[in-house]
């Protein structure tokens, strides 16, 4: 567990020094920059984590000493208290493993090509074998790690039950990226037992028709039913809305989407197809949601895939309107107390 002393005030981001995405021949230290090649193709995970630590620490050093590096112009950099040196916090398993599949075909999906092109005989690890390997390393098994599953549709994986079971035997917390169309009893139990830190679902629509158009799957009602069926009050469910021009940038979908988020009081994150700028119409819709959300005590933010300008627009608007709302409420309360 890190102490106050382990942090320093500088430019940084939530990934650098905390996040590790492992692949057989490379690793990533965030979801924004390109991956880094590992020293050798058959490196063990422990070696890979060591290489990640050295690489990450040298980036932290570059940032502190204002040397140009891959982070220099990144839209995710901000002033704040960040770790002084690399300390693994989250391991992410993305769609790069044999057996990864998905039951949807989202029009925007950046993993679609990979998911459709796995050679069955490819000598790759599976998400399960990878997690088992990591869970055998005793210091990692005992560490309070977040394991992020983002591999195809994790609930459609043939090993889903065995994968979820690993969380019963480790100190890990699950961060699950899921389309939420599949109900899995073991996942429900994990949520119930407080082992799921966060669930992220990209809903992207507020109507069945638009959902089907974007996801190539007529599963809107299944997702809504699962939101009711899973014990989501025992975790943090975040609903994403990825704007696609002329498909879901309309009031009907936004209103439908917002009413779902309001009902379950979930955080809303706006997102974009890999940094594609928002149109004026999208900004009007974002503003509508922010105003409603503030009055219903719902947090609105955005993902790392939103470009700097739109990210500033969303975060600044939310912060400003929230402060105004809180100020007005305070004044009202004062007035009421005087009476
Ligand atoms: C690749 S999916 C895998 C997990 C799961 N199937 C799901 O949809 O959550 C992980 C996340 O990547 C996001 N994503 C996929 N393609 C994207 C793109 N082109 N731009 C931004 N986000 C994208 C999805 O919305 C989802 O939240
Ligand atoms: S490139 Fe950006 S998101 Fe990635 S570690 Fe650097 S600052 Fe963070
Ligand atoms: S559900 Fe996830 S993995 Fe499947 S196509 Fe959509 S974004 Fe891609």
pLDDT in tens, 214-245: 999 999 999 999 999 999 999 999 999 999 99
What's the whole-number mean pLDDT along residues 151-166?
97
Q: Is the pLDDT of residue 120 over 70?
A: no
Q: Is the pLDDT of residue 115 over 90?
A: no
What's the whole-number mean pLDDT along residues 107-111?
96
What's the whole-number mean pLDDT along residues 249-263?
98
Residue 298 Cα, ligand 1 centroid: separation in angstroms?
23
Tell me whether residue 239 is in a domain.
yes
pLDDT of residue 297: 96
pLDDT of residue 307: 96
Q: How many domains does the chain have?
A: 1
Q: Ligand 2 in contact with 318 (CB < 6 A)?
A: no
The bridge status of strand 78-83 relative to strand 7-12 is antiparallel
Residue 2's CB: how many other CB atoms inside 10 A? 11
Q: Is the pLDDT of residue 213 over 70?
A: yes
- Range of the structural domain that residue 306 is part of: 203-331
Tell me whether residue 164 is in a domain.
no
Tell me whether residue 304 is in a domain.
yes
Closest atom of ligand 1 to CA, residue 305: 21
CA distance 200 to 180: 9
Residue 217 Cα, ligand 3 centroid: separation in angstroms?
11
Q: Is the CB of residue 26 less than 8 Å from the CB of residue 55?
A: no
Tell me whether residue 156 is in a domain.
no
Task: Tell me the pLDDT tens digit for each residue of 160-208.
Answer: 999 999 999 999 999 999 999 999 999 999 999 999 999 999 999 999 9
Supply φ then ψ for residue 236, to 5 degrees.
Answer: -110, 110
Tell me whether residue 57 is in a domain.
no
Identify which ligand lies nearest to the alpha carbon of 238.
1
Closest atom of ligand 2 to CA, residue 74: 2
Tell me whether residue 237 is in a domain.
yes
Q: Which two tokens stand for residue 81?
A: 């208290």
**Closest Cα to atom 8 of ligand 2:** 13
The residue with tokens 């989202």 is 106
Q: Which alpha helices (H) appear in 95-250, and where do they start and end? A: 112-116, 127-135, 138-142, 160-166, 185-192, 208-215, 220-229
Which of 33, 63, 69 for mutating ligand 2's site (highest number of atoms within 8 Å of CB)?
Answer: 33
Supply φ then ψ for residue 80, to 5 degrees.
Answer: 175, -175
pLDDT of residue 51: 96
Q: Ligand 1 in contact with 150 (CB < 6 A)?
A: yes
Tell me whether residue 232 is in a domain.
yes
CA distance 271 to 273: 7
CA distance 88 to 209: 42
Q: Is the CB of residue 249 less than 8 Å from the CB of residue 282?
A: yes
pLDDT of residue 121: 62
Q: Ligand 2 in contact with 36 (CB < 6 A)?
A: no
Residue 102: its H or E element: none
Tell me whether residue 305 is in a domain.
yes
Q: Is the pLDDT of residue 112 over 80?
A: yes
Residue 4: partners with Cβ closer than 8 Å, 6 or more residues away: none
pLDDT class of 267 with cuts at 50, 70, 90: very high
pLDDT of residue 13: 97
Strand partners, 200: 177, 238
What pTM, to 2 d.p., does this model score? 0.95
**Closest Cα to atom 1 of ligand 2:** 71
Q: Is the pLDDT of residue 4 over 90?
A: no
Residue 55 Cα, ligand 2 centroid: separation in angstroms?
13
């Amino acid at each position: 567990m890190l102490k106050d002393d382990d942090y320093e005030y500088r430019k940084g981001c939530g990934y650098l020094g905390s996040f590790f995405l492992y692949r057989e021949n490379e690793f990533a230290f965030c979801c924004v920059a390109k991956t880094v090649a590992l020293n050798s193709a058959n490196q063990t995970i422990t070696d890979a984590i060591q290489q990640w630590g050295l690489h990450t620490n040298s980036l932290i050093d570059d940032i502190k000493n204002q040397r140009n590096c891959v982070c220099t112009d990144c839209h995710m950099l901000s002033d704040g208290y960040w770790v002084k040196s690399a300390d693994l916090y989250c391991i992410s398993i993305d769609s790069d493993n044999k057996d990864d599949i998905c039951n949807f075909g989202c029009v925007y999906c950046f993993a679609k090509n990979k998911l459709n092109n796995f050679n069955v005989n490819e000598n790759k690890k599976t998400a399960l074998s990878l997690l088992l390997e990591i869970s055998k390393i005793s210091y990692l098994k005992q560490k309070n790690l977040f394991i992020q599953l983002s591999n195809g549709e994790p609930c459609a994986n043939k090993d889903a039950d065995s994968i979820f079971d690993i969380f019963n035997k480790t100190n890990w917390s699950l961060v699950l990226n899921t389309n939420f169309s599949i109900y899995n009893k073991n996942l429900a139990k994990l949520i119930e037992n407080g082992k799921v830190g966060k669930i992220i679902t990209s809903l992207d629509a507020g109507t069945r028709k638009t959902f089907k158009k974007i996801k190539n799957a007529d599963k809107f009602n299944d997702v809504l039913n699962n939101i009711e069926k899973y014990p989501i009050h025992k975790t943090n469910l975040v609903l994403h809305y990825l704007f696609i021009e002329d498909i879901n940038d309309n009031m009907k979908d936004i209103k439908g989407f917002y009413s779902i988020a309001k009902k379950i009081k979930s955080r809303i994150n706006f997102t974009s197809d890999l940094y594609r700028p928002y149109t004026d119409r999208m900004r009007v819709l974002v503003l509508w949601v922010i105003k409603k959300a503030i009055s219903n005590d719902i947090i609105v933010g955005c993902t790392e895939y939103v470009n700097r300008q739109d990210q500033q627009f969303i975060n600044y608007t939310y912060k400003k309107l929230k402060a105004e709302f809180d100020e007005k409420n305070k004044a009202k309360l004062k007035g009421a107390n005087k009476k």
